[in-house]
Amino acid sequence: MHNNEMMEKEEIYSKVLRAGRRTYFFDVRATKAGDYYLTITESKKFTNDDGSFHYKKHKIYLYKEDFSEFNSILQEMTDYVIAEKGDEVISDRHQKDFKKEYNTPTPSTEATATVEETTSTQTAESRFTDIDFDDI
């Protein structure tokens, strides 16, 4: 193997995040020209019916020219999720013994829900744009 090929595969700096069945690998690697880029690999463990297991991996290559915008969008998206849903991990509540609490709607609450649902539907329909693909 040529020295450049070995350099391309060599990890310069690495971090690992273990998250349940998933493991995320963050690796700084070097290009043939000697510049650095980042690979993010998700590895997920799957168990076969016979008890054996295998891993599926997905990899993202992220180059320096995209770092700023990638980081900005990632931060925006994570902030949005936390703002909308909080930082509680809902999947933790979905255990075998988890019991959801149901509120029985009162007639006034039920009427309000119907009005809100209708309003949402009308708003969505009013934003719909009809596209004729023959124009393309």
Distance separating alpha carbons of residues 114 and 39, to the nearest angstrom: 48
Long-range pairs for 43-52: beta carbons < 8 A, 24 or more residues apart: 45/21
Quote the mean pLDDT of the chain: 75
Look up residue 104 and give its two tokens. Answer: 């029985």
Task: Tell whether 11 is covered by a domain.
Answer: yes
Range of the domain at 61: 1-67
Task: Tell whether 134 is covered by a domain.
Answer: no
Task: Tell whether 42 is covered by a domain.
Answer: yes
Q: Is the pTM of this model over 0.85?
A: no
Q: How many domains does the chain have?
A: 1
- Distance between alpha carbon 106 and the CA centroid of its chain, in Å? 38
Buried-exposed string 82-91: b where 16+ CB fall within 10 A, e elsewhere:
eeeeeeeeee
- Rg of the Cα trace of the chain? 24
Task: Tell whether 74 is covered by a domain.
Answer: no
Q: Write out pLDDT tens, residues 32-43.
A: 999 999 999 999
Half-sphere exposure of 98 (CA within 13 A, CB side): 8
Predicted confidence band at 10 (pLDDT cuts at 50, 70, 90)? confident
Task: Tell whether 101 is covered by a domain.
Answer: no
Task: Tell whether 38 is covered by a domain.
Answer: yes
Task: Tell whether 123 is covered by a domain.
Answer: no
CATH of the domain at 29: 3.10.450.700
Task: Tell whether 108 is covered by a domain.
Answer: no
